[in-house]
Each structure stands twice: as C-alpha cells, then as structure tokens.
Amino acid sequence: MAIIEKDRITIRSPDDMHLHLRWDERLYHAIQHTFSHWGRGIIMPNTDENRPILTSKDVKEYRNEIFNFLHQFLATHAFEPLMTIKLVKTTTFEVVHAAAEAGVKAIKSYPLGVTTNSENGVSMNDLVTEFGGVFKAMEERGMVLSLHGEHPEYFCLDREDYFIPVLRQMQANHPGLKIVLEHITTKNAVQLVQQDTTGNLAATITLHHLFLTLDDVIGGSLMPHNFCKPLAKRPEDRDALISAVISGNPKFFFGSDSAPHFQHTKESACGCAGVFSAPVALPLLTSFFDEQDALEKLEPFVSQFGAQFYGLPLNRGTVTIERGSWTVPLLYSDSGSLRQLVPFWAGREISWNVVVRHCQLYE
Ligand code: NCD
Ligand code: ZN
C-alpha cells in the first residue's frame, strides 16, 4: 500500500504498540503528539504509582479520560487507544475475563521495582508459578502477555539476559499464550526472538534504542533525557536491533515506549527512567529507514506486523511524511508552567516531517 517517492512517503496509518500517556497534563501533551501521527496505540497501565490500571473499571475510567482529551482536540475518531491492565498479585481469571469484555488487548507484567511505577510489580518467581489461571484465561481470550523483560535481581546491564530463562519457562508452561517481549535492547534478545519457532513470541523495538548506546547516557556527560529502562546497551546490541528492524522479520514491530516525565523529575538527583519520543517518533523513524536505504520497510514495521501479531485489523487511513528539515523544540509546556517535557532529539534537526494524516480507522 505504501507510496514511496523520492521526497515523500505515504503509508497506512501506523500503530504504536507500546505507549505511556499518564493521567495528568502529560496526557494532554502525549495525546496531541500521538493522535496527529498514529492511528492506534497500546496504552501502558503504569500510569501512576497511586492510580495504576488494574481492572476493567480502571480501564473504562482511563479510556474516558483519554477520549476527553481527544475530544478537546476534536480528534475523538482519529485515534484508538488499545487498553491494557497491569499484572499484580490480585489479578485473577475473573479480572481477565472482565478486562477482555472491556476491550483490553494485553496484560502487562512489570518486574518488581525495575522501572517507573513498578512498585507493585511481580516477582520472577510469582510470574512463573502463580498466574496459571490468569494465563489460561488470557489464552482463551486471545490476549497478549506483554513482558518488561528484565530480571530485577541482577546487575543492570545483565537484567535482560537473566530474564531469558524466565521467558523460556513461561513459554514451556503456557505454549499457547501470545507473548510480546517489550522494548528489547540486546543482541541476545534479538536472537532469542529470531530463533523462536512457536509463532507466539514477538518483540517491540523503540526508536531511541535504534539510536542510543550506553555512551549516550553516561559515556560523557550524564544525559538524563536518554535514561530509560531497559538501559541502552553496547554498539553491537544496537546494531542487532537495527538489523532486526531492517530485516523485515514480522516478529519485530514498533513500540515507541514514549514515556513523558516532567523535566524536573528527570534532571534530578534521583531521575526518572523514560524517554518522551512521541513528538518525533514517526519523522525520526522515517529518517532512520531512509538512511538505511530501506524506506519500504517502514510501513510493515509500524503499520502491519504489530496489528497482525495482536490479531487486529489493519488501519485504513494514511499518513504522509515528506522530506523537509525541522528542529525539534527544546521543551513542551503549557505557557508559564514549570512542569515541562523535554522530547527525545530536543534541539536537533530531523530531515523528514509528517505533513498529512488522513484519518480513517479500520472498518
Ligand atoms: C517507562 C515509564 O516511564 O513508564 N519508563 C522507561 O524507562 N521505559 C516504563 C517502562 O516501560 O519501563
Ligand atoms: Zn514502557
């Protein structure tokens, strides 16, 4: 479907398969940058330590809140939030069935304490042993288990590797369960997904992990706006992610993991993990594929593979991106507010820009 010209590309309306929006005014900023480029997004449930999304009731409230914001922008029909709930000790198979009825597409597991708002996450032992009924119900309802794949008990750079045996055990226990290993950052995770033969394992890859290594976080000056979980790793890990994306393997699809945090909470003695990439995700991805001489691989990566793995219809609208340089703003804020957001690539140029979005969700 994509129309690729020298300075212009039109693709099927894309899906962001891993997105954080929050509850407060960050939702206002995140949603406006998202709906203007993306057709749907898998909305992560770790909204707030005190107000996580755990049940169908939470989902309905949160979805209403998202629609209220979309309504402010007269964009109610432009973007479909695909809701998730968080796996916690109190998640039961009844919770799963009610969530499925409420349209929930995935349940997200956060290892205890490993990332933003994961204080009520699960231990690795519980993940493997405690949720048999929950995972069975998810299989029945065709729901995806979305895994933050880091083992919290290990050294930070090794956490993804040590999660692999946990994942293998999960697969052995629940062979029919669809699993997405989220925001992978290592060569080993890429190989694991490539070599998997079950057909039930896929992975999201973010924008920032295609650009960053650990050097861009702590190699020179401390760069808090590049700090996220999982941490960006070694150059060979980034190269493996790039090859996976360029290979066109449908097991790898886009999830931005765009995660808005206020500037003062990132530029802090105890800074939050998360990169706010929503404003730049689609233009910078286009530029990435262009530089790799692989523009034809953009559309499947953002508009097809994720939907297919989740069993969703493909979007029907389009978005057009044109060659044309622009400079990413240093900050986004409401005028006068100190609660500002610093986007990924702030102050730098991007050589592609979204020019038209023709909204039309699937039939
Ligand atoms: C995410 C967030 O801020 O919610 N942060 C991050 O560093 N990626 C949580 C997550 O996906 O780990
Ligand atoms: Zn995330």
Residue 115's pLDDT is: 87
CA 41, CA 99: separation in Å to the nearest integer? 17
CA 341, CA 279: separation in Å to the nearest integer? 11
Give residue-wise pLDDT tens across range 263-272.
Answer: 999 999 999 9
Higher pLDDT, 277 or 50: 277
Is the CB of 256 inside a 6 Å radius of any atom of ligand 1? Answer: no
What is the percent of the chain where pLDDT is above 90?
A: 89
Has domain 3-358 been given CATH number 3.30.465.10? no
Give residue-wise pLDDT tens across range 350-360.
Answer: 999 999 888 76
Pocket probe mutation, ligand 1, options 257, 266, 277, max atoms within 8 Å of Cβ: 257
Is the CB of 26 inside a 6 Å radius of any atom of ligand 1? Answer: no
The residues, any chain, with a CB within 8 Å of residue 34's CB and separated by 6 or more, are 16, 19, 21, 41, 79, 258, 278
Residue 77's pLDDT is: 81
Q: How does strand 318-327 pair with strand 8-12?
A: antiparallel
Is residue 257 flagged as an active site residue?
A: yes
* Of 7, 58, 257, 293, catalytic: 257
Quote the ligand 2 centre to 195 CA distance (angstroms): 24
Q: Where are the domains of the chain?
A: 3-358
Taken as a whole, the chain contains a residue count of 363
List residues bridging with 109 in a β-sheet. Answer: 147
Mean pLDDT of 183-187: 98
- Among protein residues, the one whose CA lies closest to atom 11 of ligand 1: 257
pLDDT bin (cut points 50, 70, 90) of residue 362 is low
Which DSSP letter does residue 20 get? -
- Among protein residues, the one whose CA lies closest to atom 9 of ligand 1: 116
Give residue-wise pLDDT tens across range 282-341.
Answer: 999 999 999 999 999 999 999 999 999 999 999 999 999 999 999 999 999 876 677 899
Residue 144's pLDDT is: 98
Phi, psi (5° rounding) for residue 346? Answer: -55, 130
Pocket probe mutation, ligand 1, options 87, 208, 229, 262, max atoms within 8 Å of Cβ: 229
Quote the ligand 1 centre to 271 CA distance (angstroms): 12
Residue 363's pLDDT is: 44
Give residue-wise pLDDT tens across range 49-73.
Answer: 888 999 999 999 999 999 999 998 8
Stated pTM of the model:
0.97
Residue 341's pLDDT is: 95
Average pLDDT of the chain is: 95
Which DSSP letter does residue 225 get? G
